[in-house]
A and B are shown apart, each in its own frame.
Chain A
Amino acid sequence: MALRQTADELIPELRRYQRQLLLAGAAGAVVSFVGYVLNPAQFFQSYLMAYMFVLGLSLGSLALGMVHQLSGGAWGVVIRRPIGAAARVLPALTVMFLPIAFGMHHLYEWTHADVVANDPILQGKQLYLNTPFFLVRAAIYFAAWNGISFLLNRWSLEQDRTGDRRLSRRMQLLSGGGLLAYGLLTTFAAFDWMMSLAPHWFSTIYGVLIIGGQALSAMAFLIVVLVWLSRRKPLSDIVVASHFHDLANLMLAFVMLWAYFSFSQYLIIWSGNLPEEITWYMHRLQPGWRLVALLLVVFHFAVPFVLLLSRAVKREPDTIMKVAAAILVARLIDLFWLIAPEFHQDGVYVSWMDVALPLTLVSLWLGCFMWQLRGRAILPVYDPQFEEALGPIIDQGGETPRTAH
């Protein structure tokens, strides 16, 4: 059956896109290196933003894949392979973390011994915020994320070959613990890599704010990919409006979750109005940056929220793809607003590297994604849920009522 062929055989243009994207990424890397020579501090700030964005695509996909292992449902079956391919970019992301480790001194105030010596608060936090422990923690995060992704992907590939259904049980068991580990480790990674940019400031909801953002980024990306794939055989015979409806509903839920976390943090800090907490918002809500914040309220929450309430928007692939793509742009602006005001407290400042580095890392990430997508069947044909979710359509060649409308 055609479905058991690899994506490479079914969609030959994947190879060409992979090459073009990787070439674009390499060209971007050369241009970014010029930026590094000219202004290393700005380079690392832009790099961190771009890196957190692409990391969110992979980690969010990994988390959604684990949620689907536990919950089941047709929504996850149709995006399982893009989820796997996105998660398999993690080894490349591990290497791409190295510039952040090298640029720590430019990014994190608490790495400066002279600053810490004159700052009793930072001295108190030194047990956690110190360079060796920071690097050890990063190694632990990557080991765990890569380990979970490696095992899930290996078992899934094994199931493709042998059809052994016991592997599903194993993947479910790992996903239970894996989700817990993902939640804890990503919380701490968010504290380390982003929250500690303002080392005096703290917010316990910050970790889940980043996690919710990752889930939203991943879901928006997976919707774009699914629309793209559904215009080609064989998915054009399989993916129907109700799949997009389910995925778009989940995306709506993540949009609301992000808004809920963001507002909760704001409400609590605004109510308390304590100097050690409110300054973080004062940097981000002074005239200039306030405009960016407003942009986020409108385009990261209000507009997608209203659009995604409509059933017609959710069921029309072309429309839902545009909404998802706009959300991805908003996600990047959100990361920009979380990171950049820390370094540009006089007002809004957009460097050319804030555009060049996201373009570079996204090209590289997408190139790796295409590469990983090519090697396997485009649907998890042997998954026990496969027949339950999509089976009748395959058996009867699209004659069932499901595809008739």
Chain B
Amino acid sequence: MHSPDVYGLMAEFADPNELVAAAHRAHHEGYRRMDAYSPLPIEELHEAIGFHNTRLPLIVLIGGIVGGLAGYLLQWWASAVAYPLNVGGKPFHSWPAFIPVTFECTILGAALSAVFGMLALNGLPQPYHPVFNVPRFTLASRSGFFLCIEARDGKFDLSRTRAFLETLGATEVTTVAD
């Protein structure tokens, strides 16, 4: 059981390989509510903490389709409805000419929905987060590798989880105030 003013336990590791190994062990041990922090992207890390699928690909797909349709319809409306212009005797609705802009609009829609979808799913921007209460956490954007097991995890126990993290080779284990 945990007291309500504890967010979780933060363990610091010396290098990315130790962090990945620790995340694997913690996941294997049955911990699920945890997050890892690293100054550089680590390919294996998200799988190590058991983080599999997000809804982001679906959002990007929908964004791309909406962008493409909007781009095509805009051209169709301009060239065939609002301002029909005879170009080289071609039909007003000439799909080959519309493809480049449709393609660009698809990419635009997909890219914008990727960025904003990612921010929305991450809950960013987030001016306050409990992990900021750990003084050494500023190193997470420079040279520190952190694994935080959160108190809302069913298996979380302040003393036993701390002991477990210490067996993983953490250089320091800190209690994170909420």
Physical interaction between A and B: yes
B5 within 8 A of A: no
B15 within 8 A of A: no
Which of B44, B57, B96 lies in contact with A270, CB distance below 8 A? B96
Stretch at the interface among A119-127, A247-255, A397-405: A397-405
Residues in B whose Cβ lies below 8 Å from that of A401: 20-21, 24, 44, 48
Write out, one digit per residue, whether chain B residues 1-29 have a CB within 8 A of any chain A CB (1) or not (0): 00000000000000000001100100000
Chain A, Cβ-Cβ closest to B24:
A401
Q: How far is the CA of A311 from the CA of B60 in the complex (A)?
A: 14
For chain A, what secondary structure do more than half of its interface residues adopt (helix, strand, loop), or is it mixed? Answer: helix
Q: Are B88 and A267 in contact (CB under 8 A)?
A: no
Q: Which residues of B30-80 have CB atoms within 8 Å of chain A's CB atoms?
A: 43-44, 47-48, 57, 61
Chain B, Cβ-Cβ closest to A269:
B96
Write out, one digit per residue, whether chain A residues 244-282 have a CB within 8 A of any chain B CB (1) or not (0): 000000000000000000010011001101000000000
A236 within 8 A of B: no
Residues in B whose Cβ lies below 8 Å from that of A273: 88, 90
B124 within 8 A of A: no
Q: How far is the CA of A404 from the CA of B57 in the complex (A)?
A: 25
A242 within 8 A of B: yes
Contact A242-B96, Cβ < 8 Å, known A401-B21, A401-B24, A404-B24: no
Interface size of A by CB at 8 A reads 13
Chain A, Cβ-Cβ closest to B28:
A404
B139 within 8 A of A: no
Q: Which residues of A278-322 have CB atoms within 8 Å of chain B's CB atoms?
A: 309, 311
Q: Are A266 and B88 in contact (CB under 8 A)?
A: no
Q: How far is the CA of A271 from the CA of B87 in the complex (A)?
A: 10
Q: Are B43 and A405 in contact (CB under 8 A)?
A: no
Q: How far is the CA of A147 from the CA of B47 in the complex (A)?
A: 45
Number of A-B contacts (CB under 8 A): 25
B99 within 8 A of A: yes
Q: Are B21 and A267 in contact (CB under 8 A)?
A: no
Residues in A whose Cβ lies below 8 Å from that of B57: 311
Which of B44, B61, B88 lies in contact with A402, CB distance below 8 A? B44
Q: Are B24 and A263 in contact (CB under 8 A)?
A: no
Q: Which residues of A373-405 have CB atoms within 8 Å of chain B's CB atoms?
A: 401-402, 404-405
For chain B, what secondary structure do more than half of its interface residues adopt (helix, strand, loop), or is it mixed? Answer: helix
B97 within 8 A of A: yes
Q: How far is the CA of A405 from the CA of B44 in the complex (A)?
A: 9
Q: Are A267 and B44 in contact (CB under 8 A)?
A: no
Residues in B whose Cβ lies below 8 Å from that of A309: 61
Chain B, Cβ-Cβ closest to A306:
B61
Measured as residues with beta carbon below 8 angstroms from the partner, the interface class of chain B is 10 to 19
Chain A, Cβ-Cβ closest to B47:
A405
Q: Are A242 and B43 in contact (CB under 8 A)?
A: yes
Contact A267-B100, Cβ < 8 Å, known A401-B20, A404-B24: yes
Write out, one digit per residue, whether chain B residues 86-97 have a CB within 8 A of any chain A CB (1) or not (0): 001010000011
Chain B, Cβ-Cβ closest to A270:
B96
Q: Are B20 and A263 in contact (CB under 8 A)?
A: no
Q: Are B48 and A263 in contact (CB under 8 A)?
A: no
Chain B, Cβ-Cβ closest to A264:
B100
Q: Are A263 and B97 in contact (CB under 8 A)?
A: no
Q: How far is the CA of A330 from the CA of B97 in the complex (A)?
A: 26
Residues in A whose Cβ lies below 8 Å from that of B47: 405
Residues in A whose Cβ lies below 8 Å from that of B88: 271, 273
Residues in B whose Cβ lies below 8 Å from that of A271: 88, 96-97
Residues in B whose Cβ lies below 8 Å from that of A402: 44
Chain A, Cβ-Cβ closest to B44:
A401
Residues in B whose Cβ lies below 8 Å from that of A270: 96
Residues in A whose Cβ lies below 8 Å from that of B24: 401, 404
Write out, one digit per residue, whether chain B residues 78-118 have a CB within 8 A of any chain A CB (1) or not (0): 00000000001010000011011000000000000000000
Contact A263-B99, Cβ < 8 Å, known A401-B20, A401-B21: yes
Chain B, Cβ-Cβ closest to A263:
B99
Which of A242, A267, A311 lies in contact with B97, CB distance below 8 A? A267
Residues in A whose Cβ lies below 8 Å from that of B44: 401-402, 405
Residues in A whose Cβ lies below 8 Å from that of B97: 267, 271
Q: How far is the CA of A271 from the CA of B43 in the complex (A)?
A: 46
Q: How far is the CA of A402 from the CA of B45 in the complex (A)?
A: 10
Chain B, Cβ-Cβ closest to A311:
B57
Residues in A whose Cβ lies below 8 Å from that of B43: 242
Q: List 15 A-B contacts (CB under 8 A).
A: A263-B96, A263-B99, A267-B96, A267-B99, A267-B100, A271-B88, A271-B96, A273-B88, A309-B61, A401-B20, A401-B21, A401-B24, A402-B44, A405-B44, A405-B47
Known contacts A271-B88, A401-B24, A405-B44; 14 further A-B pairs (Cβ under 8 A): A242-B43, A263-B96, A266-B96, A267-B99, A267-B100, A270-B96, A271-B96, A271-B97, A309-B61, A311-B57, A401-B48, A402-B44, A404-B24, A405-B47
Chain B residues with a Cβ under 8 A of chain A: 20-21, 24, 43-44, 47-48, 57, 61, 88, 90, 96-97, 99-100
Chain A residues with a Cβ under 8 A of chain B: 242, 263, 266-267, 270-271, 273, 309, 311, 401-402, 404-405
10 closest Cβ pairs, A-B complex: A401-B44, A401-B20, A270-B96, A405-B47, A267-B96, A401-B24, A273-B88, A401-B48, A402-B44, A263-B99
